[in-house]
Amino acid sequence: MNKIIQLLAIAIVFTLFSCQKEHSNVFDTNTFQIEIDQHGFVTGLVETGSNKNFVPEGNKGPLVAVVSNGRLCMPLSFEAIDETGYNLSFNQSDVQIKLEIEPKETHISFTVTGTSNDKNLEAILWGPYPTAIGDTIGENVGVVRNKDFAIGIQALNPKTTAGRLDDIRGVTSYHGTAAEATEFGSVLQAFAIDRTKDRTKSKWDGWENKFLGRPIDILSNREGLVTGAAIALFGCKPANALKTIGAIETAEGLPHPEINGEWVKVSKETNRAYAISPFSEEDVDEMIGYAKKAGLRSLYHEDPFNTWGHFELKPEFFPSGVEGLKACVEKAKEQGLNMGVHTLTNFITPNDRFVSPVPDERLVITGKAQLTKDITATDFDIEISDNQMILNQKNSKMNTVRIGDELIRYGTVSEEKPYILYDCQRGAFNTQASAHKKGDSAVKLLDFAYRTYYPNWEMQKDMVANISDLLNETGVTQMGFDGHEGCFATGQGDYAMDKYALDWYNSVDHVTVNSSSRLKHFYWHINHFINWGEPWYGGFRESQADRRFKVQPFLERNYLKNMLGWFMITATTIPADIEWMMARAAGYNAGFAMVLRRPELEANPFTDDLLDLIRVWEEARLAGAFSNEQRERLKDGNNEFHLEKIDQKTLVLHPFRTNSFEHQKKVLQPGEPTASEWSFANRSDEQPLQFRLTIKSEEKVKEGAIAKPDLEFDHSFKFNLPDNLDAGSSVVCNGSQNLRIYDAKGRFIKTYDMGRKPPMLRKGSHSLRFDCSFSGSDDLVVQIVIKQKGEAETITL
């Protein structure tokens, strides 16, 4: 049974079977009131102005529940012990929790100040707190809201994880569960795990352990006890919710990063577009020039490190090492740009000093076994006592075992006793091949598909120090926590991700913009933006387009700045590609990253035009130039636009109207024409004829083709098209005699010379006729979209 349902069912039992009027404890802010009954259940989440209680009738939730000795235990009593201190006792458990509760102007804080009889305490659960609000669920930030009121939960430190506890490591779902939708509205929830105990032996069936037998570090009392776990609850008008979170950050000493003196969650600077580039000491001036021409905020190196772990720089980019990077940062700063570096958060490369020539004992392992026989330095088949450590990582890419200070890579492992590591590479990664004794420990290193290893909890702190020291020494002002979820390897779940980010934040001595591959509730306070979407899989329109657009509502309901992800200018990118992307960015008011590589820019004849377009569109977006109505049209990926700058205060937006037609295979009588004919009108001024012809297929794997495409305009002009076109491919005519051919993923293939330009599209009625032969698939459809420039719209800045 789902734990939320379990908790709420128990709460209902308390409601139905209480025979006497219960005493309530009331805690107030300026706008919000919380009522807690004598048993420790939250009975009221009340808007003070309207006196409306948002706790659904019959669905009160526990202020705190505990997991003790393998059981989920509900609160039994809630008693004041002094002005701010309260004791909670629990049904079916001797555990007691001492809380400090402090009402403040904007929120009420709840802090665990002590525990007793806690030998069997495994975790505490804050809530879940049921609410009748279900219109907008900020699942990550932990805020639910409707048009009248918002209620939120905030974890006040990393050991407190906002979300549902259903994983033994404390990993919440991808987008978060600090708030979740329910049939009656929503719930808010958090938890803290006692990490000073061996959780792998827990008997509680409320959390899943996907890695049986894999060891999990046991933390010190300071870091691992639930004492100190804390949350804040608040309620206010929806328009004030973000401001209230900012006030909570300030009041509770949480991270509150600013850009130019303004909180990043409200600053327009936060989601300015930036450039990504593999620049070097040699060409950094040129790349800074490209970024400035495009009006981008920063120059972010896509792959600067030769090793991850100690973060040593690649000599091909920075032959002068750290001093070289520092000089690049200074050059960018002089031009008004930030400079950033990309890395994988806690991934460790085999060439790093954490691995070679002497492996650090703190590298994460999946388990251990013992040698059953003595081995020499040249034995290549090694017998071990157990193969569970191997089974704990079936998808290993490195097959690495550590015995003492030697790393050994194996080929295969026998499935039955005797368990033998076959075809071993001794002294892997420049470690020393050595003799080892029967009974010596053999541990399997946890690795990842990127051919990297991971640090444990303590070693992770060294990695934070290494990257922070580099940023402090060089002055780098932007960094991405790519692979941030790698922190899960420590066995500490969201706590590890949040702690890594907080330690980093507290170690860097200057304002540093940061992003991540994954967002967690507490990290939200540190994060500047999340920038999902990669350019490697197709063209501007195709590469992860659905993901880019679908993530925007998530960002908005969680009070995050809109970002569209990474795009890339290649040697074949044309202005229409850039304007398609920039229109979407303007519609969503979203920043983005643009990959700029010098060889591609130098080979593209339109580079200056492309960079100018980026600057003009970005200036307009940041100035708030577009109306709400225009932004809605700009969001639609089927619409295309051209933005022209007339002078410093005047822009002209040219929308393009489209007429879309489809032709498919027809089964007709012999001799009957199979062509499709259409008519359309141009109501605007005379302009070049532009179209896109696409061979569409419903199949995921694009199969089939068309041959001898026959396209005729106004019963007179016959286009000279390629003889054969594969399913998924497109042909684009921009008014010139050279067509552009794209593959099924939107990647440019080649140009095709028609021999002459198409006729002008004059004002009035026009006709199209198309025919072809189909092969390989019966579901192919040929789509022809005619693109016409519409009426200009003047925009004043």
| Other beta carbons less than 10 A from residue 379's beta carbon | 17
In this prediction, residue 80 carries a pLDDT of: 96
Is the entire prediction scored with pTM above 0.95? no
**Mean pLDDT for the chain overall:** 94
For residue range 128-139, list pLDDT tens digits in order.
999 999 999 999
Strands (E), 521-674: 529-530, 563-568, 591-595, 640-647, 650-664
Q: With a cut of 80, say whether residue 271 has pLDDT above it.
A: yes
Residue 759 in contact with residue 713, Cβ under 8 Å? yes
Q: Which helix (H) or strand (E) holds 505?
A: helix 493-507
In this prediction, residue 702 carries a pLDDT of: 77
Q: Is 609 helix (H, G, I), strand (E, B) or coil?
A: helix
Q: Select from 627, 582, 590 the least CA-distant residue to 609.
A: 582
The token pair that represents 303 in the structure block: 């792959």
The token pair that represents 81 in the structure block: 């012990």
| Other beta carbons less than 10 A from residue 509's beta carbon | 10
The three-point CA angle 630-633-637 to 5° equals 145
Q: Is 102 helix (H, G, I), strand (E, B) or coil?
A: strand
At residue 223, what are phi and psi to the nearest 5 degrees? -95, -25
Q: With a cut of 80, say whether residue 668 has pLDDT above it.
A: no
The DSSP output letter for 177 is -
In this prediction, residue 12 carries a pLDDT of: 41
* Residues β-bridged to residue 657: 788
In this prediction, residue 24 carries a pLDDT of: 82
Q: Select from 299, 330, 305 the least CA-distant residue to 318.
A: 305
| Other beta carbons less than 10 A from residue 253's beta carbon | 9
For residue range 717-737, list pLDDT tens digits in order.
999 999 999 999 999 999 999
HSE-up of residue 138 (Cα within 13 Å, Cβ side): 25
Q: With a cut of 90, say whether residue 699 has pLDDT above it.
A: no
Residues near 48 by beta carbon (within 8 Å), at least 6 away in sequence: 28, 29, 30, 31, 32, 33
Residue 658 in contact with residue 638, Cβ under 8 Å? yes
For residue range 158-201, list pLDDT tens digits in order.
999 999 999 999 999 999 999 999 999 999 999 999 999 999 98
Instruction: Give how far the C-alpha of residue 452 lies from the chain's centroid of Cα atoms, to the nearest Å.
Output: 21
Q: Select from 101, 184, 105, 104 the least CA-distant residue to 144.
A: 184
Q: With a cut of 90, say whether residue 14 has pLDDT above it.
A: no
Q: Mean pLDDT across the stretch 196-221?
A: 91
The DSSP output letter for 119 is T
Radius of gyration from C-alpha coordinates of the chain? 31
> Which domains are present in the chain?
3-254 (2.70.98), 263-348+456-530 (3.20.20.80), 365-445 (2.40.10), 545-637 (no CATH), 656-794 (2.60.120)
In this prediction, residue 4 carries a pLDDT of: 46
In this prediction, residue 22 carries a pLDDT of: 58
The token pair that represents 132 in the structure block: 């009748």
Q: With a cut of 70, say whether residue 6 has pLDDT above it.
A: no
Residue 108 in contact with residue 101, Cβ under 8 Å? yes
Residues near 126 by beta carbon (within 8 Å), at least 6 away in sequence: 63, 64, 110, 153, 160, 189, 190, 191, 192, 231
Distance, CA of 758 to CA of 779 (rounded, Å):
30
For residue range 416-446, list pLDDT tens digits in order.
999 999 999 999 999 999 999 999 999 999 9
Q: Is 243 exposed, middle or buried (0-12, 13-18, 19+ CB in 10 A)?
A: middle
Count, residues in the chain? 797
Q: Mean pLDDT across the stretch 522-534?
A: 95
Residue 699 in contact with residue 779, Cβ under 8 Å? yes
Q: Which helix (H) or strand (E) holds 550?
A: helix 545-557
Residues near 365 by beta carbon (within 8 Å), at least 6 away in sequence: 215, 389, 402, 443, 444, 445, 446
Distance, CA of 268 to CA of 272 (rounded, Å):
7
Range with the poorest average pLDDT among 79-83, 258-262, 297-301, 694-698: 694-698
The token pair that represents 283 in the structure block: 């060409």
Query: pLDDT confidence of 262, banded at 50, 70, 90?
Result: very high
